[in-house]
Each structure stands twice: as structure tokens, then as C-alpha cells.
Structure 1
Amino acid sequence: MATADDVPYTKDAAASEEKASWPQNSDSSSARIETVENAPPPNRITVDKATERAVLRKLDYRIVPMVMWVYLMNMMDRVNIGNARLFGLEEDLNLANGQFQLAVSVLFVTYCLFEAPSNMIIKRLRPARYLAGLTVAWGFVATFSAFVNNFAALVACRLLLGLFEAGFFPGVVLYLSMFYSRRSLALRIAYFYGTAAASGVAGGLVAYGISFMDGDHGWRAWRWIILINGLPTIITGFVIPFVLPNSPETAKFLTEEDKINLIRIHESQVGSARNLREMEWPDVKDGLKDWTTWAYCFALFPMLTMLYSFVVFLPTIIHGLGTWTATEVQAMTVPVYAVGAIVYITCARLSDLTQRRGYFIMGSIVSSMAGYGMLIAEKGSAVSYAGTFFVSIGIFVSAGISFAWVPTNNPRYGKRAISTGLHLTIGNSSGVASPFLFQDSFIPGYAASIGMLGFSLCLNILLHLHFKRQNRLRDEGKFDHLMEGKTEEEIEAMGEKSPRFRFAT
């Protein structure tokens, strides 16, 4: 059966892709465009807005819905343990004090260990099939987690779940950057990452419906929640290769002209040098030495600490605000996630249009801090519940736009791959500690959350001011001397170091 690619991904095809990744030299700028391989340099032929929108629309219809669906499965498989907790998981497995939090956090041990390495190899493999294999693997682990009978088995399943899920998120961020340019990337990452909020809506609704199955066939509701969430993931994994292409050059649903235009769109913004689309180790080393790489990483750590603690413990937080039943609590989580998702996608759209990232990140962090303040104040159930909306808005917007900020400001593929991988590795390592924020009492956890978000706010302000200063100096021509004696291709190969490059701020 045919997959989403129009040619088999053989060594010859891979070589063809590599060749297609940048325009070939031509003796005549008026040479007829027959294929991707002989497209002239993009700085000579531009793509009009209507054509660009048409190409992006094809990508959006094919790629975005699939990665959103898979991430929905990913998040539901990972965090449904929070819903399962309300329906007897701790009691049935005889979990001692703190063991539930440990089971939640241990997933991130294997998750973090394999994120960056996965990003370094994804392009050497067939990206779509690589992501599909990961999906099938974690789907089986998630499904069979419904059969665990003790703490040790639960921990083993969580470790395996982290292992197979590790490469998915950073892989998709890198995958999307292969298709979408810096002007359109944040919104597509928003559609993708916004599914985390949608997973809260879907997870709450699914758990609400499944709660009525408690006792069916001798199974408690928590087992049904885990089982029914896991099965669709396995099916989805087998479908992925037939929907997602491995690269723009092998996408069956794009015409030859579409492929040419897509390359021109990318290269009109960052250039056509080889290292902008291919891995080169000097660029990887630059990523490791760049202080902004590490600032991005440690700014993300508090954001994801809040995210992971929030999505797992939101049902428990709401349950503590009143006398609602477990089923009613599940229903009350739905609007919290829905509002977070809507605001995030709106902000991501504005961020792409303005090429401003820092303003949205900083403003949303303040929103989360205000939300935690409302929870600390304990001014009544209504105020506290409203606070969860402010927290939801803040954590989804801040982390989500940060995911787009890193690839936007790193046009060289090697630097982008390592920076994105490290960004998510260090950020996701927060998942190890986040469950323990709310182990015994929520109020200390809220106070710690505000402090950590304050630290993240300071780092994001620093990054924002740094990139603004860099753009100003380039506008003033302070770095123009770096282009002296260089060819056009050498200037483009400088990536973000080129005096022509302007950072998203």
C-alpha cells in the first residue's frame, strides 16, 4: 500500500531530497522550472501571499490534524493517571503515602534521557515512520497499564511510557519546522501543543463517561479509563505513515510547483545554504555554547513544572474547593482547559503576525502568578475556581510560544535540532519534581509555583531585551563587517549570526 510519500524512501530518494533542499546553480536565471531540483535561488523569485496561503492550506489540512490527534492520544495516555486516582487507583494498588506522586514523576526520568538523542537521529530515519513506531509502542504500554496490580508494575509501565514518548514532542516540533517557515510556525505549534489543553477537555469528558462503567465485568472505573484511552493510540500509530510525509520533497499531496514554492518560502526568510536544512556538527557545537540555549531551557523548566503539576492535580484541586462528587469534578475541569486552549491559539496567531514571542510569554506568566495568588487567597470557591482559569491560560500560552521561539531564532538545522532537544529535555525534567509540589498541602505548592514562575519571568525578560538589542545593533550596521569577503552562500550559512538576520523578540 502507498504511504503519504510519493516515492520509496531509499538511499537514492534521500539523496534526491538532499539535492532538493537547496537550489542548484544555474547559468541562466530564466531557466525553465521543471522540478524541485532545478529551482532557481529564492532571492531571485519570490512567492506571492496568495500562493503561500494555498501551499500552507494543503499542509494544514494534511499534517496539522494528524499531529494534533496523536498528541491528544499522547497527553491522555500520560495524564489519565490523575483521573484514575479519583476512581480508586491508589486504594486498589495499596499505594503508600507519596507513591502516587512517585509513579507520576518517574515517567520523566526515561522521558528526559532520550529526548535530545532522538532529535539528533530523526532526520536520518524516515521521520513519519519513526514517529509512528513511537506511537504504537507507547500505545501498547499505555493499554497494558490497565492490568497492573501493584506499585512496582505501575512504575515499570510509567518508565516504559516515558521511554517511548520521549522522542515524540521534540520530534514533531522539529518536523513542523521542516514544513513551516518562521512566519507560520508558532500558530501550527499552537494547534499541536494546544491539544494538551484539549486533552484535558477530552480526558475529563471520557473519564466522566467511563465513571458509569465502574464495576462492569468486575473492573473498577480507573482500569477502564486507562484501557479505553490506550487502544485508539495503537490504531493511530499504524495510520500515521499513510498520512504524514517524511519531508516536503516527498509529499504526495503537494504538486511539483508546491514543493518549489515551499522551498522558496523557507529560503526567502533564512537563505539557501546547505546547513540551514542539513545537520552539521559545528552548528550543533554552537548550540551547546550559546548562552541563550541554556536560558531558554531554564526559563521553560518552571513553566512545565506548573503545567505537569496542574494537568495531573487539577481534578484534585477542584475537588478540594467544595463538596462535589468525582464525576462532577471531571465535568468542571473541561471549561478550564477549553479557555486555556482558546486563548493560547489566539495569542499564537498574534505572535506569528507580529513576530513577537517574549511579550506573550511574559504576560502569560503574570497571568499564572495571578491565578495562583487567587488560590492562595482562599476567598471562596468561586474565586479559587476562577484562579484555575488564569493559571490555565498562563501555562499554556507561556510554554507553547516558548516552543516556537527557539526554532524561530535558530535557522541552522544542527543548532535548531540540539537547541530544541535540550529545551525540551531540561524543561521536561521538571516532570520529576512537579508531582511533589502538591503532595501534602496545596497552599505551599501555590507559593512555590509563584516563586518559580518569577524566576522564569526574569529569564524571559533577559532574552527579550537581548534579542531587541541585537536587532537594533544590526539595524545600525554594527555587524556589517562580518560579511566582508564572504560569498552570498557563506553569509546565509551564518544563520542567526548573519547581520541580515533579525530575531523574533
Structure 2
Amino acid sequence: MALETKEERPGASSTSDSDLEVTVGAVNEKKLLRTLDLRLLPAVSILYLLSFLDRSNVANARIEGMTDDLKMTGNQYLTGLTLYFLGYVLFEIPCNIVLKRTTPKFWLPTLTIAWGIVATLMGVTQNLAGFFVVRFVLGTTESGLFPGVVYYLSMWYKRDERQYRIALFFSCASLAGAFGGILAYGISKMKGVGGYNGWRWIFILEGLLTIVVAAVAYLFISNYPESVSWLTDNERKFIQARLKADSDSTNHEQFKWSEALVAVKDIKCWLYCFAFHTMSLPLYTLSLFLPTIIKDMGYTAAQSQLLTIPPYAVATIFTIFWAIMSEKYKRRAPFIAVTSTIAIIGYIILLANKNPHKKPGVSYVGTFFAAIGIYPSVALVLSWPAINVSGQTKRAIANAMQISIGNLGAVIGTQLYRPNTAPRYILGHSFALGYLVLNLVVVSALWWILTKENRQKEETLVSHPETKGFHDSEEDLKLGDRHPRWKFNA
């Protein structure tokens, strides 16, 4: 393994170099990373796939007769979608605080069981009020998973290893869309079983699946490196040493409100929030309305369920590919800009087709561009704070802020695809297009600020070459990402 010099990496310290030298001969780093990937990523990825499936299957249920059975109008359906995100936004930060004060092995499966029960209850809801209550509670119970997992992975992987893993994890969102279409197509055939319509069985079976997997998750979710039993002492020391040389993951930092305030005062944290805010509206409007958008092109409900699969499948593959390329070139902002532009092209195609009934193929191509552009951009945006924010409490709060403020875009988006705007959905598509353009502005501003601060840090080190490493003193630790040797990834 090639070790960097102290000047070449943020937070370098002689202590951690020594620890690495002691253990490097006994530990194969590549093999250890493969072990970590196999132990950590499948578990949390399955939970996130179920999370996205349980929040977006309402779109599949809608075209199978849910709104008719519950006697709701199209606008009341939109209100139910909005209530989900209100619950999600309100409980995001509290859930991350609970994670910081408990353990991933307890908290992540517990959250999953909670939302699995709620998702199942959606299948037996009998009226509009019940629909509203269940959607709000579903949002509260699902709110802690994504920021919790992002924080969790930051305690295992070095900064330059996190983005690819987070992107792999997030790719399950588009994969859930593809699975959702397949499952909805098959489950809807159960119409009449037990006296229930097909849409009810979509919620019941997928919710029960979540509960079963969550119960098993208590066995396969791990805690942090220092406490797991499947690492040898040398591997544990090696992980601790490499993380100590790279970031703050090995610090024993207690939750402090003062550190949470540091995140709130940092303009970069707010820009991470708005980078996701400008992506969450197109992300969730696409995932919540794609079956309806396709159905309104003139297809049947069954055809629409199946036609949602290809855009999501291609988006999943491209999300993984784009994460690999971004990691290879160690850049975030330019890669986000490219895929956001691809999504912009998709919505221009959707808006330009004045008659989706006569030219459904044109609009369908537009959905491909939208999906291929949105999902990779979101994956990169969501990994940014995990890479750049130092201080465990600050990072936990920054991640939760990003999801909370970001999902306010989804709250707005749930009210845009109104039935009276079908089949072109000019209002919804126009908002999505506008938000994607704003994303380019926010990402460019963040790129400029990160580059500027890196340059200022370099100037500080030139004028003060005696500056110590990131972990050489308690005072240095408190500086976190403000330390001159901490370099931001732009």
C-alpha cells in the first residue's frame, strides 16, 4: 500500500503513520475493503431499497384503483403525498440524534420494523383520513434511514472511499422503482383475493416483506469497527489507524449542541442542503408520478407498470458507472453538472411533445433522459457532506439538514402533478426543469467556494509550514474541516 506524505493528505499525523506501518504487513487493505463492502453494503442497501419501495409504491397503487376505492380526488391524493414529506422533514434531525446516542445495530432495524408496520397498514386503510394519517407516520418512521446510513458509512470508510459506497447504496432508489413495477404488475393480479383489490395487496405484501427483513436485520447490521467481532485485532487497528490519518471517524466525540450550531453557521452546509433541495423535487415527482405519466400517454395500467422498469433499470446502471467515474477523477461538481444537464434535456423533451397520446414514444424517451440524469446527480449530491464535513456531530447534523431541507423540494413537488394538467403536465415538468437549472447554479457556487477555501488553506500552509497535522492536538481536532490541512473535495 502506498502511503501519502503528511503534506499530501488532510489530517496526517506521525502517530497514525506509525500505526499503519505496524499493521500494514499483516493486513491486505484491498481484501479488507472487500470484506467491509460485503459485510456492510448489502445490509443497508436492502433496507434502503425497501424504504424507497414502501414510499413510492403508492404511485403503483394509484393506477390500480386506490383513489377510486378510497373515494379521493386527485388533489386529495397529492395532499397525502405532501404529508409523507412533512413527517420526513420534521423528524430527520431528531432521528440522527437518536442514532448518535444509540447504535446502528439497534436503531436502523428498529426504524425499518416501524415503517414496515405502517406500510402494511396502508393496505387496510378504509378512508381518506386513514390514508392521510398513514402517509404522515410513514414519513416520520422512514426519515432516519438515509442520513443515518450516510453517517454510519463515514465511520468505516476513508473520505475518498465513501462517495462510491454511498452512490451504490443510493442506486437502490432507482432499483426500487424497477422492482416496484415488476411487483406491482404481479401483485395486482391478486385482485379479489380475500375480498381485497389488487392495490391493497401491493401495500400488504411489500410491507410484510419489510417487517421480515427488518427482524433479520438485527443479526446482520454491524456497529462500529471497534466493537464488531468479525474483525481481527490487526484489522481493527488498521481500520482505526487509516481513518485517524484521514478524518475524524476514530474520535470519541460526544454529542454537543455547540457543534451542531457550527454546522448551522457554515454556508457550505446550507449549499449542500440546497443542492439536494433542487434535486429532490424532480427526484420524487418522477418516482411518485412516473406510472401515472406513462399511463396518461395512452397505455393501460398493466402496461404502465411494466414500462416504468426500463428507465429505472438504465438509471441504476448509469448511477453506478457515474459514481465510478467521479471517484476516478476525484471530482463532484462537474459530474453533477453533466447529469443535471441530461435531466434538463429530458424535461425539455417532455414539455416539447404537445400530444403525448399521438407520440407516446417521444415522451417515453424524455423519461429515460430524466431518470438517467436525476439519479446519478442525487447520489453525488448526497455523498458530498459525508466527504467534506469534519466533526462527527457537525457531519451528522449536516447530513440531516441536507435531507430535511432538501426534501422540502419534494413537499412542493407533490402538489404539482394535478389531474387537470394531464397528459402534458406542463406545471410539474416546468417546475422540475426550473429546479434542475437552479441546481446547476447552486453546484457551481459550491464548487467555487470549495475551490477558494482550498486555495486559502494552501496559502496558510505556505506561510505557516510549522502547522501540525489534523490529529496532533485536541485543539486541532476541534477545528474539524476548518483545519488548514483539511482539503475539500470539489
Q: Same fold (TM over 0.5)?
A: yes
Correspondence list, 1:49-88, <5 A? 51-88=28-65
Name the CA distance, whole Å, in 2 between partners of 1:420 and 1:335: 31
Name the CA distance, whole Å, in 2 between partners of 1:389 and 1:166: 28
Instruction: Tell me the SS of whatever aligns to 2:217.
Output: helix
Superposition deviation, residue 235 in structure 1: 0.9
The equivalent residue for 1:383 is 362
Of the candidates 299, 317, 320, which is equivalent to residue 324 of structure 1?
299
Evaluate the alpha carbon distance shift between residue 479 and residue 391 of structure 1 in structure 2; reply closer, same or farther with a 3 A threshold.
Answer: farther
Evaluate the alpha carbon distance shift between residue 485 and residue 173 of structure 1 in structure 2; reply closer, same or farther with a 3 A threshold.
Answer: closer
Of the candidates 460, 463, 472, which is equivalent to residue 455 of structure 2?
472
Name the CA distance, whole Å, in 2 between partners of 1:445 and 1:165: 25
The equivalent residue for 1:433 is 412
Evaluate the alpha carbon distance shift between residue 466 and residue 219 of structure 1 in structure 2; reply closer, same or farther with a 3 A threshold.
Answer: same
1:93 counterpart = 2:70: yes
Name the CA distance, whole Å, in 2 between partners of 1:256 and 1:184: 22
Instruction: Tell me the SS of whatever aligns to 1:187.
Output: helix
Deviations 1:56-90 (A, max 9, x none): 11111111111111111111111111000011001
Superposition deviation, residue 271 in structure 1: 6.0
Evaluate the alpha carbon distance shift between residue 246 and residue 393 of structure 1 in structure 2; reply closer, same or farther with a 3 A threshold.
Answer: same
Q: Which runs of 5+ in 2 are unaligned?
A: 1-13
Name the CA distance, whole Å, in 2 between partners of 1:362 and 1:127: 33
1:459 counterpart = 2:433: no
Of the candidates 463, 486, 489, which is equivalent to residue 501 of structure 1?
486
User: Does structure 2 retain, via aligned residues, the 8 Å contact 1:208–1:331?
Assistant: yes
1:146 counterpart = 2:131: no
After alignment, is 299-308 or 280-289 more displaced?
280-289
Correspondence list, 1:220-259, <5 A? 220-259=197-236
User: Does structure 2 retain, via aligned residues, the 8 Å contact 1:474–1:480?
Assistant: no
Name the CA distance, whole Å, in 2 between partners of 1:344 and 1:467: 24
Matched letter for residue 408 of structure 2? S
Superposition deviation, residue 138 in structure 1: 0.8
Name the CA distance, whole Å, in 2 between partners of 1:197 and 1:479: 46
Matched letter for residue 121 of structure 2? F
Deviations 1:319-353 (A, max 9, x none): 122x3211111111111001111111111122233
Superposition deviation, residue 154 in structure 1: 0.7
Superposition deviation, residue 392 in structure 1: 0.6
The equivalent residue for 1:401 is 380
The equivalent residue for 1:336 is 311
The equivalent residue for 1:116 is 93
Superposition deviation, residue 318 in structure 1: 1.1
The equivalent residue for 1:346 is 321
Evaluate the alpha carbon distance shift between residue 329 and residue 272 of structure 1 in structure 2; reply closer, same or farther with a 3 A threshold.
Answer: closer
Name the CA distance, whole Å, in 1 between partners of 2:325 and 2:477: 28
Deviations 1:275-303 (A, max 9, x none): 6x553444322111111111111221120
Evaluate the alpha carbon distance shift between residue 351 and residue 267 of structure 1 in structure 2; reply closer, same or farther with a 3 A threshold.
Answer: farther
Cα-Cα RMSD: 2.2
Instruction: Tell me the SS of whatever aligns to 1:249.
Output: coil
Matched letter for residue 469 of structure 1? K
Evaluate the alpha carbon distance shift between residue 345 and residue 166 of structure 1 in structure 2; reply closer, same or farther with a 3 A threshold.
Answer: same
Evaluate the alpha carbon distance shift between residue 392 and residue 97 of structure 1 in structure 2; reply closer, same or farther with a 3 A threshold.
Answer: closer
Name the CA distance, whole Å, in 2 between partners of 1:470 and 1:421: 24
Matched letter for residue 501 of structure 1? W
User: Does structure 1 retain, via aligned residues, the 8 Å contact 2:279–2:378?
Assistant: yes
1:268 counterpart = 2:242: no
Superposition deviation, residue 480 in structure 1: 5.0
After alignment, is 362-371 or 467-476 more displaced?
467-476
The equivalent residue for 2:395 is 416
1:164 counterpart = 2:136: no
The equivalent residue for 1:449 is 432
Evaluate the alpha carbon distance shift between residue 485 and residue 54 of structure 1 in structure 2; reply closer, same or farther with a 3 A threshold.
Answer: closer
Name the CA distance, whole Å, in 2 between partners of 1:268 and 1:193: 27
Name the CA distance, whole Å, in 1 between partners of 2:311 and 2:441: 27
Name the CA distance, whole Å, in 2 between partners of 1:257 and 1:353: 29
Deviations 1:386-424 (A, max 9, x none): 111111122111111111111111121111011111011
User: Does structure 2 retain, via aligned residues, the 8 Å contact 1:52–1:265?
Assistant: no
Evaluate the alpha carbon distance shift between residue 129 and residue 273 of structure 1 in structure 2; reply closer, same or farther with a 3 A threshold.
Answer: closer
1:363 counterpart = 2:348: no
Correspondence list, 1:205-220, <5 A? 205-220=182-197
Number of paired residues?
465
Instruction: Tell me the SS of whatever aligns to 1:94.
Output: coil
Evaluate the alpha carbon distance shift between residue 46 and residue 355 of structure 1 in structure 2; reply closer, same or farther with a 3 A threshold.
Answer: farther
Evaluate the alpha carbon distance shift between residue 46 and residue 383 of structure 1 in structure 2; reply closer, same or farther with a 3 A threshold.
Answer: farther
Superposition deviation, residue 268 in structure 1: 1.8
Superposition deviation, residue 258 in structure 1: 1.3
Name the CA distance, whole Å, in 2 between partners of 1:124 and 1:52: 30
Q: Which runs of 5+ in 1 are unaligned?
A: 1-39
Superposition deviation, residue 135 in structure 1: 0.7
TM-score by length of 1: 0.88
Deviations 1:93-133 (A, max 9, x none): 00024101111111111111111121123121122211111
Name the CA distance, whole Å, in 1 between partners of 2:242 and 2:339: 31
Deviations 1:169-217 (A, max 9, x none): 1111111111111111111111211100000010000001112222223
Superposition deviation, residue 354 in structure 1: 2.8
Evaluate the alpha carbon distance shift between residue 183 and residue 245 of structure 1 in structure 2; reply closer, same or farther with a 3 A threshold.
Answer: same
1:285 counterpart = 2:268: no
Name the CA distance, whole Å, in 2 between partners of 1:354 and 1:264: 25
The equivalent residue for 1:14 is none
Name the CA distance, whole Å, in 2 between partners of 1:106 and 1:307: 17
Name the CA distance, whole Å, in 1 between partners of 2:42 and 2:250: 31
Identity of aligned residues (%): 35
The equivalent residue for 1:18 is none
Name the CA distance, whole Å, in 1 between partners of 2:254 and 2:463: 26
Matched letter for residue 236 of structure 2? K
The equivalent residue for 2:472 is 488
